[in-house]
Amino acid sequence: MGGAGGAAGLFGNGGAGGRGGMGGVGAAVPNSVAGDGGMGGAGGAAGLFGDGGAGGPGGDGGAAAAVPGSTAGKGGVGGIGGAGHLFGSGGAGGQGGHGGAGGLSSANTGGDGGDGGTGGRGGLWGNGGAGGSGGQAGAGLVGDGTSGMGGAGGAARLFGNGGAGGAGGASEGGGTAGMGGAGGRGGLFIGDGGRGGNAGATGGFGVGANGGDGGNAIFIGNGGDGGNGTGGKPGGKGGSAGPFGHNGMNGLP
């Protein structure tokens, strides 16, 4: 796992989290399993007047050995963004790691991508951080794995907008794209819900995924729009508004 970012003092931003370690390559024996990537480190918390640090990216999964039945490693999950404190926004979530390559054997499939990290919570007067994007699945001769889901946007606390959900990881071969992450909740008094993330793009024989739902508003604010789906899959639902606002629009398929 990557190291956590340092917390800030009074006037400063939190430090960024470190990258997760890369998974080890699978042993050259039948039915071996490559190592998964490590989780990204969490972003550091903000000071009273500063933003939270970004979460670290997840490590990439290890490649499968070129022997039948071997398994590629999964990408690591992105680190969570650091929280805002008083006047500041939450940090962005880290990107999910890429899945390991499936190797040269026709029996192997690429590893799954890691999910994006959740955005950090906003300060009392600040926005939630954006969710990290999902990692792309590794390629294999049989097909790609499943790409990672986008991270959820961070919630606002009192005055501020929810963070946008992260985009799902793309699938460029025969695997499955990652879903979009959900948008974060708006502030308890004033603020819009975050937009849902778009699903990952598809190419070749890839399978699409749903878009992320928009975040809800609580009192004065609009619901976030849903993210778009891919490959004919539905878009995310628009978030609900507070008493003073309008609902978000549903995402497109």
Residue 38 has pLDDT above 90, yes or no: yes
Instruction: Look at residue 106 in the predicted model and tell me its pLDDT.
Output: 55
The CA-based diameter of the chain, rounded to the nearest angstrom, is: 63
Instruction: Look at residue 140 in the predicted model and tell me its pLDDT.
Output: 81
- % of the chain beyond a pLDDT of 90: 77
Question: pTM of the entire structure?
Answer: 0.93
In this structure, are residues 168 and 210 in contact, taking their beta carbons and an 8 Å threshold?
no
Residue 134 has pLDDT above 90, yes or no: yes
Q: Which two tokens stand for residue 174?
A: 């025969």
Instruction: Look at residue 103 in the predicted model and tell me its pLDDT.
Output: 72
Residue 58 has pLDDT above 90, yes or no: yes
Instruction: Look at residue 243 in the predicted model and tell me its pLDDT.
Output: 93
**Single-letter code of the amino acid located at 147:** S
In angstroms, rounded to a whole number, what is the distance separating the alpha carbons of residues 100 and 2? Answer: 18
Specify the range with the lowest mean pLDDT, choosing from 24-28, 131-135, 213-217: 24-28
In angstroms, rounded to a whole number, what is the distance separating the alpha carbons of residues 102 and 69? Answer: 10
Residue 244 has pLDDT above 90, yes or no: yes
State the average pLDDT for the chain: 93
Band (pLDDT 50/70/90 cuts) for residue 107 is: low
In this structure, are residues 121 and 153 in contact, taking their beta carbons and an 8 Å threshold?
no
In angstroms, rounded to a whole number, what is the distance separating the alpha carbons of residues 38 and 19? Answer: 8
How far, CA to CA in Å, does 249 sit from each of 72, 166, 241?
39, 18, 11
In this structure, are residues 80 and 71 in contact, taking their beta carbons and an 8 Å threshold?
no
Q: Which two tokens stand for residue 207?
A: 């399978």
In angstroms, rounded to a whole number, what is the distance separating the alpha carbons of residues 213 and 222? Answer: 14
